Amino acid sequence: MEKRKTAGELQIQACGDSTRYDALEVGHALTDDILYQLKQCAHEHYHKLDEPEFIVGYVIAGDPLLRNVMRKKFFAYLFLPSPRPNQAMFLYKKSDDSLKKLWVLPNALTMACLSEMPRVDPKFRTMKAWSDAFFNKKFFELIRYEQQRPDLLSEHEYLNAHREELIKCCGQNSDPGVTESFDFSKIAAYKVIDSGEPALE
């Protein structure tokens, strides 16, 4: 069995590569397998989520240790997740194994630029509308209007709508009550004597 290179080894190799790549080709390479991976994610959640349709999507995240590494994280929800930059969401229907685009948000800087521009190229109009709605806190209203689906619920709305079911499923509704304030009189100050000699034990 051939040993695969680690992410760190691949990063070192990429940093040493002086070849100039076409940005459009890189973009196509990054998105070539997205549909396959979205379907794979949907199929993995097919029996776990007992609804005729649910939300699947992905977010592009950086790596905290490896500067040049981008990771695509795929997930599925029964509700509309909170929008964020570098995120794409789709509605998956079990009946015909189909995906319908809900939104695709670019990075934060692009979102801000699109939102501030009074006019954009026609191919960016939808993304501008999503960016405007994001900054105006009207995002879910826009998505429901575009999809003509008032039944698409946000996480907060979904949890409130199914509150009783979730309480029955998870057990008693626990009330945290009022917390007791900390008693600062329990803190004692001790005099520290520094002899200037290191302790050997």
Residue owning tokens 């009207």: 138
pTM: 0.73
Residue at 199 is within a domain: no
Residue at 97 is within a domain: yes
Beta-strand ranges (E) seen in the chain are 53-62, 70-77, 87-93, 98-105
Give the rounded distance of the alpha carbon of 52 from its chain centre: 23
Q: Domain range spanning residue 36? A: 28-167
Residue at 161 is within a domain: yes
pLDDT tens for the chain, 201 residues: list them. Answer: 678 888 777 777 777 777 787 777 766 666 778 899 999 999 999 999 989 999 999 998 887 777 777 788 999 999 999 999 999 999 999 999 999 999 999 999 999 999 999 999 999 999 999 999 999 999 999 999 999 999 999 999 998 888 888 778 776 655 666 666 666 666 655 555 555 666 665
Beta bridge partners of 100: 91
What pLDDT score does 200 carry? Answer: 62
Contact 81, 89 (CB under 8 A): yes
Residue at 70 is within a domain: yes
What pLDDT score does 61 carry? Answer: 85
What pLDDT score does 100 carry? Answer: 95
116, two tokens: 């501030």
Residue owning tokens 């599925």: 76
What pLDDT score does 69 carry? Answer: 74
Q: How many domains does the chain have?
A: 1
